[in-house]
Amino acid sequence: MYFYILYAIILLSFSMKREIIQFLIDWKERKNRNPLIIRGARQVGKTYIIDEFAKTHFSNCLRVNLDEKPELKKLFAGNDVNRILTELSVLLNTDVTVGKTLLFIDEIQSCPEAISSLRYFKEKIPGLHVICAGSLLDHTLNEMKTPMPVGRVEFLFMYPMNFKEFLRAHNQEKLISYIQRFDFSEPFSELIHSQISKYLRYYFFIGGMPAAVKSFSESGNMSDIQRIHNEILLSVQYDFAKYGTRKQQEYLQLAMRYCGRNPGKKIKYHNMDREIRSTYLKEAIKKLELSRIVHTVKHSNANKIPLTEHVKDEVYKTIFIDIGFVNHLAQIDLIDLDDLVTSNEGMLAEQFVAQEIMTQYASYLNSELFYWSREEKSSNSEIDYLFQHKNKIYPIEVKAGKTGTLKSMQVYLFEKKLKNGIRFNMDLPSVGSFKTKLYVGKKPGELSWNLLSLPLYMVSELKRLIELKKITK
């Protein structure tokens, strides 16, 4: 019964409001701006959001899709951007007014010369607003043979819709507002917690790919979600044909399936396939990372900032692009809300928190994820994520339910001489101070520490809540 009530609410409104829009507005109004390149995986909504931005903030848009019209690539052979702009205007029958027209070059990864030309757009027509996008752009940027316009372009990084955007797409502004106002001055409502948790369960299965979110909002048909996930993943695999030999493509498919089914697990190549050399599998994961299909979670031993200082390059976990794909690759069917409680729930919670953390960084930063572990006989410990905020490091533990020990966190705080830890689970938010006796190896110790415990859906509020005085006392 609850499903039909929720579905009726969802059908009332759907809007693809993305947080990245504000960064685009800021870019547009900035005087000393550069041509902008938006980087993100296939189907995360890059083209849609640029089109919507153009409609609401410019008089018109000169839209160039270099996949749909490959013949236009010839225009970028030289550096005469005034000629390029004039010919594009004529060929596409679109007027161009500097300051009022947006030049949007889509699928720019297929034409490195077009990327190089951005330098000259900046230098010779600085008042023209230029935005570019492409799904496999990181591969092109990594292999550029033509001059890269260093210092003449800027980047925005785009990800699937986060949970707050998912709620907003389903007209749940009141729930968002309640989460954003919470400050521990009053108890968190159990009824509202229950309502948000039910939306969270839908997000776990549907994920944040815009096509899947839109489909569910319009039809409520779960089989359509599976079809959309399958189509997007097939399109990603078709891209593998661009990555080398048939064997290399097979390694990519193997690595993609493994990472998608095992998010948050340390990569051990022999677990993927004992018969394939680790160098081949490592290369496959690197290509998936460049495609932004997977994100690496790097191991760091740092007890002070920056986290990058003590990274072990050969020790890492991976997170998949979207939680909906994780369920799809695990072949999990959702009949009703309770069906999402599976043996994979802990893995899904860790995947979800990683996705949310990445979208908490400014869009012009390429989000990085870190974790910590210690593998010693009879003394293994692991912290799911390390979070850096205002020059401080906070260990994060993720639990799928309401309970679970925090031994690894206590060990980490004790060893690194830190005081504040973060836990995400499915309980109501709380904060507390504790004194704990523990053994690190065979040595006894005592730890005085603070714990900020938040429900999974409040990752978006982590920075704000960390800064409350009662959290860091």
Dump pLDDT digits (tens) for 423-459: 999 999 999 999 998 877 677 889 999 999 999 999 9
Residue with tokens 């990085």: 368
The amino acid present at 285, given as its one-letter code, is I
Closest CA to 471 of 457, 453, 456: 453
Question: 120, 81 in Cβ contact below 8 A?
Answer: yes
CATH of 20-157, one of 2.60.40.1220, 3.20.20.150, 3.40.50.300, 3.30.470.10: 3.40.50.300
* pLDDT score of 471: 58
Give the integer Cα–Cα distance in Å for 255 and 269: 9
**Mean pLDDT of the 385-398 span:** 93
**Mean pLDDT of the 112-133 span:** 95
Residue 164, φ and ψ in degrees, nearest 5: -65, -40
Closest CA to 351 of 216, 430, 459: 459
The CB density around residue 145, as the number of other CB atoms within 10 Å, is 7
* pLDDT score of 256: 95
Closest CA to 409 of 383, 439, 391: 383
Is residue 2 scored above 50 in pLDDT? no
Give the integer Cα–Cα distance in Å for 274 and 264: 20
Contacting residues for 169 by C-beta, under 8 A, at least 6 apart: 14, 15, 16, 17, 161, 213, 214, 217
Dump pLDDT digits (tens) for 269-296: 999 999 999 999 999 999 999 999 999 9
Give the integer Cα–Cα distance in Å for 159 and 356: 10
What distances in angstroms separate CA 151 from CA 30, 38, 131, 242, 311, one per listed residue? 16, 16, 15, 29, 28
* pLDDT score of 244: 75
**C-alpha atoms less than 13 angstroms from C-alpha of 425 in its C-beta half-sphere:** 17
Q: Domains of the chain: which residue ranges?
A: 20-157, 181-466
Average pLDDT, the chain: 89
Question: 451, 423 in Cβ contact below 8 A?
Answer: yes
The amino acid present at 403, given as its one-letter code, is T
Question: 273, 282 in Cβ contact below 8 A?
Answer: no
Give the integer Cα–Cα distance in Å for 163 and 293: 19
Q: Which two tokens stand for residue 61?
A: 């848009």
Give the integer Cα–Cα distance in Å for 410 and 401: 19
N-term to C-term CA, the chain: 45
Is residue 9 scored above 50 in pLDDT? no
Percent above pLDDT 70 for the chain: 92
pTM (two decimals): 0.91
* pLDDT score of 245: 84
Dump pLDDT digits (tens) for 124-151: 999 999 999 988 888 888 777 666 777 8
Q: Is the dihedral of CA 45, 46, 52, 56 positive or negative?
A: positive
Percent above pLDDT 90 for the chain: 69
Is residue 170 scored above 60 in pLDDT? yes
